[in-house]
Amino acid sequence: MSLQTLIDDALAQTPPGRPVWVSLSGGLDSTLLLTLAADACRRYPRPLRALHVHHGLQAAADDFETHCRRLGSRLGVPLYVARVGVDRDTGQGVEGAAREARYAALARRVAPGETLWLAQHRDDQAETFLLAALRGSGVRGLAGMPSSRDWRGRRLGRPLLGVARAELEDAAAHRGLAWCEDPSNIDTSLDRNFLRHRVLPLLARRWPHVGEALAQSAALTGDAEALLETLAEEDLARLGGDPGCLPVTGLVALSAPRRRLLVRHACRRSGLPTPPSRRLETLLGQLAARGDAEVCLDWPGAEARVWRGTLYLMPPVMPLPVDWHADWDGASLLVTPAGPLIGGLVHEAGEAEGLGVSPRRGGETLRLGARGRRDLKRLLQEAGVPPWRRRRLLVVHHGATVVAVFDPAIQGWIALAEGWSGLDQR
């Protein structure tokens, strides 16, 4: 199959009438991909756009942008340039931080329901497989890059993933294309470049089809990974279907591999980073803790808590500033450190002025009519509000009297004093 036919077929799989975007770096792969996509879209009319992300990491970055602008102009394809900053202090390394910034820029420009094409090829897949193996990755990492997948509501495709770089070079030369060579690609202090320039050529002298073989292994591992995801989704459905709340009894009834699989799957479903292997083993070892114990374990970007027989997976819970306070009229939207207070508050006598809002500090009481004055702590326990949410509650005072308690996690009132009513203004 010719490369043009490959792109024509990929175009046929995109939603009719919706734009197709090409991530254009200016290198060989993306230059050829955009050229092929432009030919396809002329014969099978479809809106085509290109997006270049300018990372500003090297002196040649402006040259890449200039090349992309000229290519877009020559092909008649609108080009959008996104300039991003790369945070070198995230602990991900420069490559990882640049990738995160690039994908964030792509998500801002490509709308949900649209298609984004990336230009990775078979040699990239072989490198990715080897890198994953050398890092001790599991099935998900060894599966490498999928040829297509849903990504934040967009369709992400890699139509050249099964094509060797040598074939792309021949096709580009046949078309007389020019492209930019990234100077950083020859820096063998970077792991991927070391594999590309030192390891894979050595392997190819012994096993000429090494790139194809490794890419095939990644594809087969991808099939296995898809089956495991199906199994994890079935286990999640049996345990209630909420990836953020897993019943401990159901979780511990699974085999150890399925427990690990389900927790990782639930994290991904919740948009959370998966725990490192050692943290995951520590977490699973704590699932047998007493039902009334509060267990908390964290890792970068997420944390897990066990409370009342349920494993909760969530983003890190940040404490509220204890000295924060705001005046409120009981009706206006109030921005707080815990998020917006969306809800009105009225008194039966019409008094709602002179309200103050602050984080819960402990020791508060409310008068609840026939139930008399009650400790807020006891009310929260009776209502089953988890301890970490209790620390982020907003308490409303009228003078020195507590009249209401708002929970930003559910955007609603969870306690109202006698004579006071909450209004849902969402």
Instruction: Show binding-site residues.
Output: 25-30
**Residue keyed to tokens 């991909």:** 33
Query: Rounded distance, CA 306 to CA 282, Å?
Result: 13
**Residue keyed to tokens 């979780």:** 251
Q: Which residues are annotated as a binding site for ATP?
A: 25-30
Helix, strand, or coil (residue 339): strand
Query: Rounded distance, CA 379 to CA 365, Å?
Result: 9
Whole-angstrom CA distances from 218 to 131, 209, 359 are: 12, 14, 51
Backbone φ, ψ for residue 384 (5° rounding): 70, 30
Fill in the amino acid letter for 263: V
Cβ neighbours of residue 93 under 8 Å, at least 6 residues apart?
none
Helix, strand, or coil (residue 261): helix
Taking the CA atoms of 66, 170, 198 and 147 in sequence, report the sign of the dihedral they define: positive
Contact 36, 95 (CB under 8 A): no
Angle between helices 165-175 and 3-12 (to 10 degrees): 100
Beta strands in 84-196 (DSSP E): 115-117, 148-151, 154-157
- Cα diameter, the chain: 88
Query: Rounded distance, CA 252 to CA 289, Å?
Result: 12
Query: Rounded distance, CA 43 to CA 399, Å?
Result: 72
Query: Rounded distance, CA 145 to CA 213, Å?
Result: 15
Contact 314, 305 (CB under 8 A): yes
